[in-house]
Amino acid sequence: MEIISHEKPPGLFARMWLYLKSLPEKSKANVVEVVNKVIKLGKDDPRRITHSIKVGLALTMVSIFYYYQPLYDNFGVSAMWAVMTVVVVFEFSVGATLGKGLNRGLATLVAGGLGVGAHHLASLSGEIGEPILLGFFVFIQAAASTFIRFFPTIKARYDYGLLIFILTFSLISVSGFRDDEILELAHKRLSTVIIGGSACIIISILICPVWAGQDLHNLIATNLEKLGKFLEGFGNEYFKTLEDGESSNKDEKSFMQEYKSALNSKSREESLANFARWEPGHGRFQFRHPWQRYLKIGNLTRQCAYRIDALNGYLNTEIQAAPEIKSKIQEACTEMSLESGRALKELTLAIKKTSQQPITSADTHIKNAKSAAKNLNTLLKSGIWEDCDLLTVVPVATVASLLIDVVNCTEKVAESAYELASAANFESIDSAVSTEKPRSGQCGAEKSNADCPHVVITVSELTPAAAMADRSLKA
């Protein structure tokens, strides 16, 4: 085949041959790529592999049950409902599985009862009236249930239940069997659904359980940590870039990546909180753990992340403010950024360890950040910049202002973390110490600072922006 490498353009046959020759290589490359993707997917979260095995196990168990003749004779075709239940109900987390299982079981029970009633009613109305009445019943319940599914609160928690309600009611009411047969059908369907659902729930809880509550807990903590990382690095990054040039570009990009995932985690947080409500007590979480408070922290975290996104715009851009201006506020800004970053990391620790102690350390860091803001305040008042071109001051002033916003946001996050810690009974260091120092509600943004000796200045004297964040959250 050396001919082809000459200048002459290759003919059709030669091209086909080349294509065929490259085929095994190409498909090998494709296979390698897919295998790499599979490995990455498994490595990113090994629970995915366990989950797949658990589903296989549950399904095999129930299938064998379906297959064996003695059992089959007992339940008949209805036994397949057990298989269906497993396939449809088994979800990744225990909460989702429990929610779906209970929804399915309850909806089957209620719809089965109503379906039998509807069927009986219709059968009383004679041969002509029966199909008309049955059709009418099915239409009314399907339309009504479908409409109810649009209610946001019902959609979040009982959507699947309503689906199964429509399904079971229609199946049972129009099944065309005699009354005694229909009761048997309803009974069989219910028992097989319970068998399938129980298999899912038992396997889901006993073998390497995946708790949605734990995931929500970790997600909230991780998002806070990511913001903390950004803030800890931001001061150095912003004030160093001119000296170090492009060298720090790579690090900065990894910061960007990390905090960005916090910007769009709202829907994930909400669905995890919905699943977590179904879960029994596990590990450090009790049955009625205050999951809603996590959502509040999540919302405040996002408020902070929006400010950080704006800050991020001032990092590593080609045009920078003059270094002499930057150097004047460097200390105060770096301190503010670093201390709020540390505060967020302490809050992360508090959530991760379910301990109140790091919240106290976070308070200290917030206090430091605030006194840095006060220093900045004094610095600005002293008029040290009067000889500078105002044009070059604007970007630096914006960064300072956004940082002050971030400090305020951090304080709000700390406040809501404290509320969570109280509501969820995080372990306190020493109850005597914790009662000595009242915190929740008294040191909030809208409250007087007189009760809180650790709050040195009101940052909002300088920038009132973050005060809006709270209001807008409630809106």
Q: Which of residues 242-271 bind a second copy (CB under 8 A)?
A: 253, 256-257, 260, 263-264, 266-267
Residues 429-468 that bind a second copy (CB under 8 A): 460-468
Least distance CB 367 / a second copy (angstroms): 21
Confirm or reject binding of residue 160 to a second copy (CB under 8 A): no
Our finding on whether 327 is near a second copy (CB under 8 A) is no
What counts of helices (H) and strands (E) characterise the chain? 17, 0
Interface with a second copy by CB under 8 A: which range of 6-14, 37-45, 101-109, 272-280? 37-45
CB of 474 to a second copy, least distance (A): 11
291-312 and 465-474 are packed helices; what angle lies between their axes, rounded to 10 degrees?
A: 140
Q: How far apart are CA 82 and CA 59, in angstroms?
A: 9
Q: 283 — phi, psi (to 5°)?
A: 50, -120
CB of 93 to a second copy, least distance (A): 13
Q: Which helix (H) or strand (E) holds 423?
A: helix 390-423
- Using only C-alpha atoms, the chain has a radius of gyration, in whole angstroms, of 31
- 358 with 349: CB under 8 angstroms? yes
Least distance CB 443 / a second copy (angstroms): 19
Decide: is 19 part of the binding site for a second copy (CB under 8 A). Answer: no
Task: List CB contacts of 81: < 8 A, sequence separation 6 or more.
Answer: 188, 189, 192, 193, 196
Between 350 and 402, name the residue whose CB sits nearer to a second copy: 402
Give the bridge partners for 427, in sequence order: 355
Residue list 350-389, contact with a second copy (CB under 8 A)? 377, 380-381, 383, 385-386, 389
Q: Which of residues 10, 14, 17, 57 is near a second copy by CB under 8 A?
A: 57
Spell out, one character per residue from 169 to 198, where the chain touches a second copy: x when CB under 8 A holds, - when not: -xx-xxxx----------------------
Residues pairing with 282 in the sheet:
285
Cβ distance to a second copy smaller for residue 7 or 127: 127
Q: Contacts with a second copy in 63-122 (CB under 8 A)?
A: 63-64, 66-69, 72, 77, 80, 83-84, 87-88
Neighbours of 76 (CB within 10 A): 12
Question: Is residue 12 near a second copy by the rule CB under 8 A?
Answer: no
Q: If you ran DSSP here, which 8-state letter would residue 425 be given?
A: T
Options 36, 74, 146, 292; binder of a second copy; rule CB under 8 A: 146
Site residue total, a second copy (CB under 8 A):
102
Which of 115, 280, 101 shows the shortest CA–CA distance to 194?
A: 101
Is 173 within 8 Å of 61 (Cβ atoms)?
no
